[in-house]
Amino acid sequence: MSGLRQRVVTGAALAAGLLAAILLLPTALFLVLILLVLLLAAWEWTGLMGVDEKPVRLLYLGLCLVLGFVALDHALTMGRLWPVVAGVIWWALVLVLLAVYQPGIVGTGRHALKGVAGVMTLVPACVALLMLHAIQPAWLVFLFLLTACADSAAYFTGKRFGRSKLAPHISPGKTREGLFGALGVTLLLGLAGAWYFEVHLGLWFYFVALCLVTALLSVAGDLFESLMKREAGVKDSGEILPGHGGVMDRIDSVTAAAPVFLFGLLWAGILVR
């Protein structure tokens, strides 16, 4: 099977499976799926950290799982939003890092810092995804649609019109023209989403702006994983998904988008817990 065909087949299967899981699974079972993805992504992250010892990698998985349980318990049972807020703050810091990044700035031997980065990337995203599912699964479908369409629009627009590199030291293939294409599609999706979810007319501008910010953060999530792979000297985070690489290669955008999107919805009162 050719690389492109394999990528399309795997992508279609993932999309169908994800849609079915979101719409058909109760939140308790969706939690199991989220924790499984967390463990797979955390395992791949240890590879990006440059950790080869299996006991250390398993210890890191256990740490992520415990922190995930604690954060989910605080968010879902106690109604505390600190895990989501922590995610928003984290991605604000990542934006600064992406702006000043030069090859080698992260340092190949700083395992502890990279380990913290993995926790902050994965745990708040898992909390946000599960909260969206618990409140209304349709919002989670919309979030994945938003990030997927932004990613596709950026790829095809960049392929056709791309001239100016967006982040040449991190991901030379990404262009500013591609980013503008992603924002254009996001604008249309934001308007459609405001109508579909019956957002109050006075909040339409805010909602569309939130969608645009979410799309921008999804690009930041993609770039941050690219940065980690560049520092690790690898092309993909793993090989579990034929034609796509690893789990992190598929969820990098949504890890950044989910906390910001959920926080923005709750802050404006568009969603109520």
Tokens of 225: 């994983």
Domain ranges of the chain: 20-268
Do 63 and 43 meet the contact criterion of CB atoms below 8 Å apart? no
Which pLDDT score, from 0 to 100, does residue 156 have? 87
Axis-axis angle for helices 137-161, 3-24 (nearest 10): 160
User: How far, in Å, are 66, 82, 169, 256 from residue 70 at the CA level?
Assistant: 6, 11, 36, 20
Residue closest to 125 by CA, chosen among 75, 170, 189, 79: 75
Do 246 and 234 meet the contact criterion of CB atoms below 8 Å apart? no
pLDDT tens digits, the chain, 273 residues: what are they?
A: 455 566 677 778 888 889 999 999 999 999 999 999 999 999 999 999 988 899 999 999 999 999 998 998 888 887 889 999 999 999 999 999 998 887 766 554 577 889 999 999 999 999 999 999 999 999 999 999 999 999 989 888 988 887 888 888 888 888 999 999 999 999 999 999 999 999 999 999 999 999 999 999 999 999 999 999 988 888 888 777 766 678 898 899 999 999 999 999 999 999 887
Do 253 and 151 meet the contact criterion of CB atoms below 8 Å apart? yes
pTM of the model: 0.93
Residue closest to 111 by CA, chosen among 224, 227, 228, 225: 228
Residue 1 burial by CB count (10 A; 0-12/13-18/19+): exposed, middle or buried?
Answer: exposed
Do 244 and 6 meet the contact criterion of CB atoms below 8 Å apart? no
Which pLDDT score, from 0 to 100, does residue 109 have? 52
Which pLDDT score, from 0 to 100, does residue 33 have? 93
Tokens of 12: 């279609």
Beta-strand relationship, 171-175 and 165-167: antiparallel
CB atoms within 10 A of CB 169: 14
Do 195 and 130 meet the contact criterion of CB atoms below 8 Å apart? no
For 93, the enclosing helix (H) or strand (E) is: helix 82-100
